[in-house]
Amino acid sequence: MRHTPAMLHVQDLSLTVPIKGKQVMAVDRISLTLEPGRVLGLVGESGCGKSITAQAMLRLGEYQGVLRSDGDILLDDQSLFSMPENELRKVRGGRVSMVFQEPMTALNPVFSIGSQITEVINLHLKMNKDDVQKRVIQLLQDVGMQDAESLLDQYPDTLSGGMRQRVLIAMAMAANPEYIIADEPTTALDVSVQKRIIQLLRSLQQQKNLSMLLVTHDFGLVAELADDVAVMYAGQVVESGTVEQIFDQPTHPYTRALMGCRPEVNKPGAALPVITGQVPSPGNWPTGCHFAERCPLADMMCQESVSLNAWSDEGHQARCVHVDVASPKPSVSDEATV
Ligand SMILES: Nc1ncnc2c1ncn2[C@@H]1O[C@H](COP(=O)(O)OP(=O)(O)OP(=O)(O)O)[C@@H](O)[C@H]1O
Ligand SMILES: [Mg+2]
């Protein structure tokens, strides 16, 4: 299949992880597309395979034994898996860059802020020393750091969590990337700082027409930032569509359940509903629908494998054989019982 150039496609990708000496499937034929200027929210509970998918987009998981068993990832129709290592190095942090959850592990504590951003620029752009210095200061200003010049010689441990995350975003922007992979970019931060980092990411994404993958377990964040959404459950995409489609008509029982857990749809102060049961881990997936054992609609039909387009409507897809298309948007109490 050919695609329009300048897109990053994950195509029927399967990944395995090492468990007790065996490679076990942890991502099952998932497809995602990052389009210019659009934010794709990849959402799902802990352990669903979001991070290993995100890392695969830079082939980073291989270092921890996360291997591709099927499918492909295409950047402008070129497979990342057949790309020579030297080209891959140019892509990483160059055309495609990443913002991690935990800024302290992504920043190197023994190098100054200035030298770490300088290194990214030197690796990817041809610039003279003075211009590099100006660019570093500009990048720090772009991410809202006051007094950028005095930061150059500081070390990461002298900064607050929010400032470190801003530095990490400056590093991710350093080589003018087209794609940003952001894995839970605000989870480690206080709520008020989270909001400012989200606003920063959104304004940079819009100004530079970036394409972004936003990995999160937080549907509220998806509503604020994403244009498109893929809901992941136990290694599979179970629902995908535009943010409007997913919020106007959440269709898969898992999506509905996740949406019902948002603080903003529940009474202030009330205990938040939780989805009973746990995500099955790799190696323990049921043969049919992966969500069946937690799903109130599950019956015999769900023991057969279900394809993502079991239900579809104008690009909105859901991996469920029990979708009642006529069902109204679920109420909070419906969701809370799932
Ligand atoms: N290097 C690894 N070796 C073995 N198992 C792994 C490895 N990396 C991930 N896994 C397993 O693969 C599954 C998916 O992990 P992943 O980190 O992608 O989940 P996630 O959706 O990002 O979860 P979270 O929201 O907690 O970050 C989990 O069961 C995890 O334990
Ligand atoms: Mg993760």
- Taking CA atoms only, the protein residue closest to ligand 1 atom 7 is 17
Confidence of residue 131 (pLDDT cuts 50, 70, 90): very high
The reported pLDDT for the residue numbered 127 is 93
**How many Å apart are CA 66 and CA 23, to the nearest integer?**
8
Q: Which atom of ligand 1 is nearest to the CA of 49?
A: 18
- The CA–CA distances, whole Å, from 235 to 14, 111, 135, 182, 309 equal 9, 37, 40, 19, 16
The reported pLDDT for the residue numbered 326 is 41
Domain edges within the chain? 8-110+178-337
Say how many residues make up the chain: 338
The reported pLDDT for the residue numbered 271 is 73
pTM: 0.91
The CATH label, of 3.20.20.140, 3.40.50.720, 3.40.50.1100, 3.40.50.300, for the domain at 8-110+178-337 is 3.40.50.300
Strands 39-43 and 211-216: parallel
Q: Which residues line ligand 1 (CB under 6 A)?
A: 17-19, 26, 44, 46-52, 64-66, 217, 281-282
CA 312 to chain centre: 23
φ and ψ of 200, to 5 deg: -65, -50
103: left (phi over 0), alpha (psi -120 to 50) or beta: alpha
The reported pLDDT for the residue numbered 103 is 60
Mean pLDDT of 288-308: 93
Which two three-digit tokens encode residue 247? Answer: 């919020």
φ and ψ of 181, to 5 deg: -105, 110
Pocket test of ligand 1: the residue of 10, 23, 51, 59 to mutate, having most ligand atoms within 8 Å of its CB, is 51
Element (H, E) at 219: helix 219-225
Strands 236-242 and 316-318: antiparallel
* Helix count and strand count (H, E) for the chain: 12, 12
The reported pLDDT for the residue numbered 275 is 86
pLDDT reading at 335 higher than 50: no
Q: What is the pLDDT of residues 158-189, one digit of tens each?
A: 998 889 989 999 999 999 999 999 999 888 78
Return residues with CB closer than 5 A to ligand 2 (ion).
51
Confidence of residue 247 (pLDDT cuts 50, 70, 90): very high
